[in-house]
Each structure stands twice: as structure tokens, then as C-alpha cells.
Amino acid sequence: MLNNEQITSYKNEGYAVQTSFLSALDIERLVADVQSICGGATLGNHDSNRLEMEPNQASDGSLVRRICHPCTYYDRFISLSESSELLDCVEQLLGHNVQFHYSKLNIKPPRIGSVVEWHQDLTYYPLTNNDSLAIVIYLDGASHENGCLQVLPGRHMLPAMDHTASGVFQGKITGALDESESVFLEGAAGTAIFMHGMTPHASAPNRSLKSRRTLIVSYRAADAFPIYTGEETNQNEAYVRLARGEPSRMARLTPGLIAIPRFAIRSKSLYDLQEYSRRQHTTPNDEAGNAENLYEKSV
Ligand SMILES: O=C(O)CCC(=O)C(=O)O
């Protein structure tokens, strides 16, 4: 369970940190599963529905950057996402009726681990209200050196920051951002960070020799319904299941305006979308809508 200080931190700052959320044995078992899930995959030969590989390696390179939907496909991760230890904390922050939304396991391998640029999760998948969170659980010690999570505290209650260029969603904050306010959430393996869906966050590339493996599990209040933005909404909804309490027959609405993301490409992940955005804006002759054939255009 979270204590009052942690709940206040989540409400006021947009995040709360729980150290030693997982035991050494839990971590050992989850890491063994990670190794077996990733075993045998190479950039040139892997199941892209289950794994995403680091792009900057040889075709026989085996460095994975994401396990897709671990809490849907793999028993130990499913159990963790359904555990009372986790759901009791989620209930403290979101109320009794809670949906599991999605999960992913991000790996920043030594030396080439990918950057995650600043973004707010709810800009990718707007909901009728903002009672949505992600739990970021470190399976390795995470520090400045290997790309721990960084957050901008206290920004989650304000309107969403701009994630667009020329009206097109870039998957990252494009407006002004004062990084001097950012907090580096360093932590030992087993640390869990409860992060509000509107908290701006990022993590640096891993240039160190230490891997940084991180499980991310997202939940939302049962009365937070998806706002349909196109095919992406169907994709995002595919993994939703009731985690605790009852389904809701009422959608609760946050007053105000909600930006609807217009995707220029159908990207596999945040990494791809942010990479696409970097290419668009760093290659002089690369006009919007004229990118290389690497990406399938969405309609
Ligand atoms: O892995 C990280 O450091 C953050 C990842 C993240 O924000 C995401 O995958 O949405």
C-alpha cells in the first residue's frame, strides 16, 4: 500500500515512488523470464508482434528494446498485473473500479539503449477523464548513467503540452520545455514509480555498460473511456480488461478541450514515431508526408 506522503506526491507532483516494491526473488524470476522471452531473437529474425529490437545493430544482433504486452502474454507478468500488492496501490490512486490498459517492458541495453523523448502518455490515447496511470518498475538499478526515468513534477494538472508540428502528432512535446525542472528518478531494482498519465516524462539513451530493464503497466479508472481517434484507438483498446471492481456504464468527463492526435504514420511504437519526427525535422529535404518508405502511411 502507498502511504499518505506517497499519495500526496502522486496528487500534487504527478508521481510517487515506492522502493523495494519487488523482492530480490521476484526480480530474479522476472529477469529469467525476460531472458527466455528474448532468447534467440535477432534483428533479422524475430516475432515483431512480441518483440521490438534495437535498430542500430547488425542483422544477427540480439539486443531487444521492448517486449510487447508482457502482462497479456506471459504468466508471471500477468500475475504481477493482477496481484493485490499492485492493485491495492492502484485503487488508492484511481478508486475501486479499475481497468488494466496495457503493458510493455522497455529494455535499454548497454551502450545503444534508445532515447525516450519527453511526452505525456494521455496525448497518445485521450480518455474521457485523466484518471490513468502507469507503474514503472525497475528490474535493474536505474540511474543517470543508464537512462532512469525523468519527470516534470506538478505539470499533470495543467492542459496537455503541445505534441504537434504543423498539426500532426509527433509523439513528443514540441512546445517549450524547461528541463531544468526535471527530476531524475534513480532507483534500485524493484523500485516502482506510480506516474499520472499526464506527467511529462523522458529517459536518456543508455551509453553505460549496464542494462536498464523496466516493466510498465498502465491502468485507468473504469469510467475513463477512450475517445476514438482512428485505428490507433482500436489497437490501444485490444489489451484492456477489468482489473478490479465493476465495469462502468457511465463515462466521466473532464471538462475542457482534449487534443486529438492526428498520426502521420502508423508507427509500431513511441520509439518509431519519435524517430520519424526527428528525421522529419533534421533532414532538410525531408518534407512532411515525404518520408522514406520505411513507414507505412496511415489513412
Ligand atoms: O522506458 C522509459 O524510460 C520510458 C518509456 C515510456 O515513456 C514509454 O514507453 O511510454
- List, for residues 2-35, the tens digit of each pLDDT value: 999 999 999 999 999 999 999 999 999 999 999 9
In three-state secondary structure terms, 279 is helix
Angstrom CA distances, 15 to 9, 72, 132, 205, stand at: 6, 25, 12, 22
Which residue among 203, 267, 268, 271 is best mutated to probe the pocket of ligand 1, counting the most ligand atoms within 8 A of its Cβ? 203
Distance CA 252, CA 12 (A): 21
pLDDT digit string (tens) for 245-272? 999 999 999 989 999 999 988 888 999 9
* Phi-psi map region of 268: left, alpha, beta (phi>0 left; psi -120 to 50 alpha): alpha
C-alpha cell at 47: 516475432
Which residue among 115, 122, 136, 268 is best mutated to probe the pocket of ligand 1, counting the most ligand atoms within 8 A of its Cβ? 136
CA-atom Rg of the chain in angstroms: 18
pLDDT digit string (tens) for 87-106? 999 999 999 999 999 999 99
Give me the residues paired with residue 196 across strands. 133
Which residues have CB under 6 Å of ligand 1?
A: 104, 106, 116, 149, 201, 203, 214, 216, 270
Residue 132 is which amino acid?
S
pLDDT digit string (tens) for 239-251? 999 999 999 999 9
Distance CA 22, CA 77 (A): 12
pLDDT band, residue 285 (cuts 50/70/90): very low
Distance CA 53, CA 33 (A): 17
pLDDT band, residue 171 (cuts 50/70/90): very high
**What residues contact residue 103 under an 8 Å CB cut-off, 6+ apart?**
69, 70, 71, 72, 77, 81, 215, 216, 217, 218, 239
Residue 259 is which amino acid?
A
pLDDT digit string (tens) for 61-83? 999 999 999 999 999 999 999 99
Q: Which of 24, 41, 19 is nearest to 191 (CA)?
A: 19
Give me the residues paired with residue 241 across strands. 100
Per-residue pLDDT for 283 more than 50? no
**What residues contact residue 270 under an 8 Å CB cut-off, 6+ apart?**
116, 119, 124, 171
C-alpha cell at 77: 507478468
CB 239 within 8 A of CB 69: yes
**In angstroms, how far is the first alpha carbon of the chain from the final one?**
45
